[in-house]
Structure formats: structure tokens, C-alpha cells
Amino acid sequence: MDHQPKFFENLSGTGKAIGVLTSGGDAQGMNAAVRAVVRMGIYVKAKVYFVYEGYQGMVDGGDNIVEVSWESVSSILQVGGTVIGSARCKSFRTREGRLQAAYNLVQRGITNLCVIGGDGSLTGANLFREEWSGLLEELAQKGKIDQEAVKKYAYLNIVGMVGSIDNDFCGTDMTIGTDSALHRIIEVVDAIMTTAQSHQRTFVLEVMGRHCGYLALVSALACGADWVFIPEYPPEEGWEDSMCVKLSENRARKKRLNIIIVAEGAIDCHNKPITSEKVKDLVVQRLGFDTRVTILGHVQRGGTPSAFDRILASRMGVEAVLALLEGTPDTPACVVSLSGNQAVRLPLMECVQMTQEVQKAMDEGRFVEAVRLRGRSFENNLNTYKLLSHKKPDAELPKTNFNVAVLNVGAPAAGMNAAVRAAVRVGITEGHKMFAVIDGFEGFSRGKIKEISWGDVGGWTGQGGSILGTKRTLPAKYLEKIADQMRTNNINALMVIGGFEAYLGLLELSAAREKYDEFCVPMVMVPATVSNNVPGSDFSIGADTALNTITDAYESCLQLHEARSRFEEFCVPICVLPATISNNVPGTDFSIGADTALNAIVETCDRIKQSASGTKRRVFIIETMGGYCGYLANMGALAAGADAAYIFEEQFDIRELQANVEHLTEKMKTSIQRGLVLRNENCNENYTTDFIYQLYSEEGKGVFDCRKNVLGHMQQGGAPSPFDRNFGTKISAKAMQWISKKLKETYRKGKVFANTDDSVCLLGMRRRNLVFQPVAELKNETDFVHRIPMEQWWLKLRPLMKILAKYKTSYDVSDSGQLEHVAMHSPKEAETGAI
């Protein structure tokens, strides 16, 4: 492997001209992509041109193709749709039209095109590239351009970005716009739920997606719908009966509302459309339920782009420019896309062909294959939905006699409840008895634990906060009592959903069991030692000190048989799911709740920025949460288009502050007269939010004025975002399946005995995969004093924020660059890695 970091400063766009256009259906986030392409293009000293109105503008030329400046794309990041216009263009489908388009580009010296659109638009782009030299020859023959131009502009580089709410494009896990569309759908579902509750109604909700069921499927997962119809998974023959039975059963359980989601392209197994009207008529005729149809339509394409879409589009836009700069006559047209959390480049035509294969498979009734072709993420969503929505009759469930407890630890985070729901339901499906612990480890020690059933967690996906109750208390103080409870309730496995405390908690538990079982050293007086030895006990630092103290105590104490056997209770499989808004848990790129918090921050920043639209020259200083972890500040800044983000991970000094103020002063001279600065709450002890506010106020006197906002607990509250609901649901389902496997592996002679490191794991998403990592191994990757992972992936995106805010910086692009191939994944891969 090549370990030489590659920096993009060496790439220059001098002399190059890049055209950017949006085509086909619009989608939220397209503007963010356009902004990133323009700014990155200008940053590398290329000329950048808007091509207005998609291919139509390219064919028409004239004012439709104009060179743009840095300021041309200011204040569009938060705007939905596409400001440069999109269109469907008939003439581009003809060679005549493309000839004209080629002429218009050559005239301006544009040989690099960045196309943001769906598979149609990208197919057109590819054709254009293939024909390019022929088109130039023809133009030369007709005397419209000279031979020199034919030579000079011999090659056309094409890079595509997929902008479409449908998420129907193979090769990328998410298309730009999908997440925002999910936001719109979930907002509507949440609103409908309250009215449906009041009237005992059934709602049939039709969502967009053309021939792709992604939006419908993920919405169904995110709101716990009763039934979902998607094209890739047509219901079995006789579905009318099964659906009605299910609906009436749910009503009999006093459930006051039913939600049925229908994808616009839904079909039955004979390829006949299933429409929302048809479903409604069925419910009314057979069951006589009060039933309403809501067709969401273009609402789904509207509104502001979500934080995720803005970040995705910004990342992809920058990557697209890099791909154009690195393009050679031999590289095929490519799309920049997302695999897990990784930006990748794929040959455009491979993706398009795979996408068309899906349609072919569906047309021919090969539905299992269609699902596989959609990709592992789609398949995983479908499997999770199937797992959670249908409870098998008790008689059909396996019986394992294992008891599994679920608890929340740390501060509440949106999506925790979805995770609990999934854990409980998957656990029950696997045949375990599920227990809920109230109020974290503290509640556990007090015996606040009870069995929880399938129905108890109904409707939990959309609820914010933690329904079980969560506490920051670590278990070390209560080891003995917790062990008691584990024994009394015969708990065979633990699932802990929470933030850094959850992780620390597990380290403590696993330390306890290691010492007692393997090394046979006792735990005399541990609780007392902990509390006496933690001076001042700042939570974060105290936790680590306590941990070391325990370890010291173990090593110096005598063997105590009694204690050891007491702590055998902890020799069970234990899994922690990262759930915290701060996203500071080691071993995972994302934690449950961070996306919701990020959206809250970004929405607020939008509002704050807008509040100044009449007032000129104002800079806002905004303080975000996160402890020492700068994730929220940094990513919030990227998504909100901020000028600076102060974080602990990248220390700054007075010179940097001064440079930032000067930068803003310069900016105020342009047409952009608003500034936004984010500051993480713990980024620096002395450069407090007040200090920065005062510094900016003083230095900006006469040029701009300042306002400050501390966002506070609004970041922890609110309804969970679609991503957090689904991420919580999916990783929790996966964790529970892992627990089942470990239970089987470690069950011997009538009891569960798991004492190895790999039975206490954290399930996290790393780059492209979900991985189980022993918490003990993660110790080496953790900065316990500041409660952050030593390496954080998003720091790599920090230069990106600076570039887009017009700072000169250095950007390590070693990760990108290789062209990969679209591969159909194996079913096994879908099981292990997908998210």
C-alpha cells in the first residue's frame, strides 16, 4: 500500500474550464453540490461556468452558459431545489442537439463537465463524452471550429453526481436529496399520527420514488408502519387477506391508528400496480375502517436540505472537481458516490447498467435478484423491516431460555428508543425473554428491571429522549448490587445503549470480570477506593481515574473466592451501541442521536443567518455542545456554511483568531455581508464564547457587529431524524443477533460463561462496515481525559469547510482517487457489513 499522503495542493486547475449543470428531477442538496464545485474549482484556479437549465441551456448556449465567481454561490447552501435550473431536454437526445452543445462548450474552452442528475442525465453525459471527438470533427468539417480547436479540446472529462430523491441509483448508498425527502415524509407521518390517534383512523400514505421502493421502505422502518408496498418486494398472493387480518389484530390490541405506506411504483407479484386508492378501498370494504389517503407528491422534493444532504453534496462536489483534475483521456466517465461513510469513484456506465438491470429483473419477476442488485444497504433495510414488523405467533417462536437486559446510559439521544424497540423485538423473535432496565446502571443496582414485551415498544421509533430513562452513573460504584440483580433475574446478556459513559461502563464491567474470573484477584473495597480517590471528581476525568484505581486495587489485593463467584454474573455477552449527540464514542464513525442534533444546529443557524437578512454586516458566534468533541461544531459549520469552527481537536491561538477577524472584514467588503462562527463548548478554556464574541466585536468595530447564541439543550431534544431512527433500529437489530450467536457459543453445562474480550463489544460503523469491536481493544484508541477517540474521521473534512469559506489550506486526499468497480455483493456481505 502507498502510505505517502497525497495533498491536493499539487493539483492545479489553471487553464481548465469546468461547466456545472443540474438535470432531470430536482432534489434538495443540489445547490450545495453546485456551490462546492464552483468554490473548489475556483480554489484550484480553474474557470467555472454555470450551465443554466440543464442540457437545454447547453444546447441553447448564449446567456445560459456563464462564468461565475465565488460570490455567485453565496447563500444557496440552505436553499432546496436548484438555483441554476433543471430541465428535461428533448434535443439533447439527438445528435444534432449534442453537436450544438459541443459547439457552445468549445467556444468557451470548457472540456470538463460536472453533471448533477439521475441515471437519465448521466447516461446522456456518457454518450456525449463518447461522441465528443466525432462531434468536434463534424464541427470542424462544417467550418464552425478550426483544427487547432479540435486538437486543443480533444477530450471531454465527465464526472457525475447523483441528485435524486429516489435513491434509485446503483453504486451509491445515498443519492443527494434522499435524506431530505425522508425528513419531509417523516414530518408528515409524525403529524398524521397525532390526528389519526384522535380519530382511530387508517392512513394510506403514498410516497414518491418512481420504480424504486427505497423512500417507502425506509419511511416504513422509521415510523413503524403496519404495512408497506414496494416494487422490489411484491406481496404474496392473498396479501389482501393477510393485510386485513393484521390491521384488525392491531386494532384489537387497542392500537388507534394504522399506517400503510405505498410506494408510487408498487406492484403485486403479477406486475400489476397496487395503488393507494386500491388499498384504501380494500380496507374500507373489508374492515369498514375510517380510512384516508394522503399523497405526498412534491412536498417530498421541497423544503431545505437536511444536514446530511448538505454535507454529502459538499463532499461530493469537492471530490468531483478532484476527479476532473485527475481525469485523463483513458479514465472513463465516473460518478462520485458514497459507500458507507466513504467517498468513492465508480465508472458511470457500470452504475447505469446495474441500475437498468434492477428494472429488468423486476420486469421479469426476478424480485429476489432485484433486491440484491439494489445494493446491500437496501437489502439490509428490507430484512430489518421484515424482522420488526411481523410478530410470529408465540407457538412459532423458538424458545432459548435466555434472558437479555437492555439499558440506556448517559445523556439522552434521539434514536435511543428506536434502538430499544429493535432490540426488544429482535430478541423476542430469537426466542429470548427481554428485560428493560430503568434509569441505567443506577436503576439496575436498585432492581429497577422488568420484563418487556413486543407490544410495549410499539410506536417508540419516533419518540425523542429516552423512554426507559437514562443516567450518567457508571457501574463501578454498584458492581456488587448489579451482579446481584443479574443473578436474581438470571440475566444472560446485556445490551447497553448510550454514549461515552456506556463505553466506560462496559470497560468497568469487563475489567471486573477479567480480574475476578481469569486472574482471580478480588475486589475488596473497590467502591470505597473509587470514591475516596477521585479528587474533585470531574465526571470525565474521574471515570478514568476510577478505572485505574479499580485495576490497581485488583492487582494489589488478595484472592477472594467469594467475590470472584459473585462477579461471574458479568461473564455474559455484552454489547454497547453508541448513542450520543456528541459522536465521541471510539470505534464508530457515527453515534445514534448525532444526526438529529446536527440538524437542530443547522436549522438554527439558518434561522439566525436569515434574521440578519435586512441587517448588513453582522457576525454570529454560536456555541455548540459536544464536550471536548468538535464533531457537532465542525460538521454544523460545514453544513451551515460557516466561516470558522473552533474545536478542541485543532488548537488555535491569538494569531488565528486575528486572521479570522481579518478574513471576515474582507468578506464584508464583498456582497456577502453575514458571517457565522461556530465554537465547541470546550474548545479552549480561556478563549471562551464570551471572549471570542468580545474580540470579534472590538476588532470588527465600524465594519460589522456581533451577536452570540449558546444553543444548549435544544440540541438534545426533538423528534429523532430519519437517519437516527433507522441507524438505531438497524444496529440494534444486528447487535441482538450477535448476542444470540454469542449466547449459543458460550452456553455450556447449563449456563452462559463468556469471559473473553470479544464477548464485550461495541458495535460501530467504520467507513463502510458495521463492526463488533472488543471494548478492551478500543482502550488504546481512546483519549480518556477528554473523552474522545484519538482518531476522528471527520477531522479530514475540516479543510473542506475552510476551502468553502475561502481559506487557503492543505487537504489530504489520499483516500480518494482510485476508480473502483460496481460489484454485486454476496448475500453474506449483506449480512455482515451493511448499514
Binding site for ligand ADP (CB under 6 A): 23-25, 55, 88-89, 92-93, 117-121, 123-124, 127, 164, 224, 226, 246, 250, 253, 255, 389-391, 421, 454-455, 458-461
Q: Look up residue 605 and give its three cell numbers.
A: 443557524
679 annotated among ligand-binding-site residues: no
**Using alpha carbons only, what angle is made at residue 382 by residues 590 and 499, rounded to the nearest 5 degrees?**
20
121 annotated among ligand-binding-site residues: yes
264 annotated among ligand-binding-site residues: yes
The label of the residue with cell 434522499 reads: 178
35 annotated among ligand-binding-site residues: no
SS3 41: helix
119 annotated among ligand-binding-site residues: yes
Least distance (Å) from ligand ADP to the CB of residue 393?
8
120 annotated among ligand-binding-site residues: yes
Question: Backbone phi, then psi, for 225, in 5-degree steps?
Answer: -65, 155
Residue type, 269: C
Residue 467 vs 637, nearer CB to ligand ADP: 467
d(CA 406, CA 426): 12
Q: Tell which phi-psi region holds residue 510, choosing left (phi > 0), alpha (psi between -120 and 50) or beta.
A: alpha
Least distance (Å) from ligand ADP to the CB of residue 59?
9
d(CA 150, CA 111): 11
Which one, of 664, 743, 769, lies nearest residue 399 by Cα?
743
SS3 695: helix
Let me know how many helices (H) and strands (E) the chain has, helices first: 28, 27
Q: Which residues contact 661 (CB under 8 A, 6 or more apart)?
A: 695, 696, 699, 700
d(CA 31, CA 39): 12
Least distance (Å) from ligand ADP to the CB of residue 812?
33
d(CA 95, CA 102): 10
d(CA 463, CA 459): 8
Q: Which residues contact 140 (CB under 8 A, 6 or more apart)?
A: 146, 147, 149, 150
Residue 65 vs 762, nearer CB to ligand ADP: 65
H runs (alpha helix) in 200-306: 214-223, 239-252, 276-287
134 annotated among ligand-binding-site residues: no
Q: Look up residue 174 and give its three cell numbers.
A: 445515498
Residue 226 vs 681, nearer CB to ligand ADP: 226
Residue 388 vs 625, nearer CB to ligand ADP: 388
Catalytic residue check, 146: no
584 annotated among ligand-binding-site residues: yes
d(CA 769, CA 832): 8
566 annotated among ligand-binding-site residues: no
Helix H or strand E segment including 669: none
Least distance (Å) from ligand ADP to the CB of residue 82?
12
The label of the residue with cell 456551490 reads: 35
> Are the C-beta atoms of 406 and 423 separated by less than 8 Å?
yes
Residue 81 vs 117, nearer CB to ligand ADP: 117
Kind of pairing between the strands at 449-451 and 433-437: antiparallel
Kind of pairing between the strands at 65-67 and 47-51: antiparallel
> Are the C-beta atoms of 468 and 420 separated by less than 8 Å?
yes
Residue 454 vs 793, nearer CB to ligand ADP: 454
Residue 416 vs 677, nearer CB to ligand ADP: 416
Q: Look up residue 376 and give its three cell numbers.
A: 446491500
Residue 6 vs 391, nearer CB to ligand ADP: 391
Kind of pairing between the strands at 493-498 and 574-578: parallel
> Are the C-beta atoms of 588 and 734 separated by less than 8 Å?
no
Which one, of 151, 157, 165, lies nearest residue 128 by Cα?
157
Residue type, 572: V
787 annotated among ligand-binding-site residues: yes
673 annotated among ligand-binding-site residues: no
DSSP helix, strand, coil percent of the chain (3-state; round to 5): 50, 15, 35
Inter-CA distances, 273 with 235, 300, 378, Å: 12, 21, 21
Q: Give the active site residue among 60, 166, 179, 643.
A: 166
Which residue sits closest to ligand ADP, CB atoms considered? 120
Least distance (Å) from ligand ADP to the CB of residue 317?
18
Residue 177 vs 522, nearer CB to ligand ADP: 177
581 annotated among ligand-binding-site residues: yes
Least distance (Å) from ligand ADP to the CB of residue 91?
8
Positions at the binding site for substrate: 164-166, 201, 208-210, 264, 292, 298-301
Positions at the binding site: 25, 88-89, 118-121, 164-166, 201, 208-210, 264, 292, 298-301, 472, 580-584, 618, 625-627, 681, 707, 713-716, 787
Positions at the binding site for Mg(2+): 119
Positions at the binding site for beta-D-fructose 2,6-bisphosphate: 472, 580-584, 618, 625-627, 681, 707, 713-716, 787
* Residue numbers annotated as active site: 166
